[in-house]
Amino acid sequence: MNTPWGFEDFDAHEDLHFVWNEASGLKAIIAIHSTHLGPAAGGCRFWHYADAAEGLKDALRLSRGMSYKNAMAGLPLGGGKAVIIADEKRTKTPAMLHDFGKAVDNLCGRYVTAEDVGMSVADMIEIRRQTKFVAGLPVEGSAVGGDPGPHTSLGVFLGIKAAVRRALGKDSLQGLHIALQGAGSVATGVAMHAAAEGATLSIADVDAAKAQKLADAAGGKVVGADEILGLEADVLSPCALGAIFDERSIAELKVPIVAGGPTISLPLLRTVRG
């Protein structure tokens, strides 16, 4: 992998922008991996990182993943991603979102932003006040919202079913044990779809209260966030932040199927496949 800057996840990215505004408190990174097929499209993540270098890693890794995802979907779009680095209190203000919108607008359409972890449709509406390069907005005159969570969770659920059919020869999740990492929007949708089909769920999240709430709703049980990757189950469905697989965690897997939401990097795919 080409890493002239010394960043492990740098992969010939076209542009990397560091954005800071003292007045609003905005600290963001916008990574454009590729515009070969079209504008770089990918969401904006709002997250508190213990180290800003972790935010950079997310932006580089996720933008590269979006290049592959958009290409595989046959879309005329490249890959990009942004992260807004939140403080410990997760302070988010309209002024901060407006400044982020201005930064996106300054790229003149090379990057199109959207909702990701920690961001909402309401946030996209605020960003839209400063730029037209925003996706995932509510449809005007319709009750349909811009939240991608339900669509993503349905896609993950159908992916789980396809993997189960291929690996286990089963057309239903009835009686299968799914280890679900995460309790956010996507994980919630996956859990409810799987529970409706008769699956048994073990759920873990760094927020134990969220995990318990989802477990109560889906009829599952809560396990520790440090246990979920090594749990014996039929399917492991990671639906949290991603970047969870390395040589150690892969070696500890006790499942025949891994099917979830986050993008798995190409080197790790090669490791999983042997």
**Residue 130 φ/ψ, nearest 5 degrees:** -115, -10
**Residue 46 φ/ψ, nearest 5 degrees:** -110, 110
The alpha carbon of residue 128 and the mean position of all alpha carbons in its chain are separated, in whole angstroms, by 21
Cα dist from 72 to 31, 78, 144, whole Å: 20, 11, 26
Rounded (5°) CA angle 122-128-134? 95
CA distance 68 to 58: 16
81 is a catalytic site residue: yes
Closest CA to 70 of 107, 44, 116, 38: 38
Residue type, 136: G
For residue 26, the SS3 value is strand
Rounded (5°) CA angle 241-199-202? 45
Closest CA to 44 of 119, 125, 128: 119
**Among the options 57, 81, 92, 161, which is catalytic?**
81
Helix/strand/coil percent split, the chain, to 5: 35, 20, 45
Residues known to be catalytic: 81
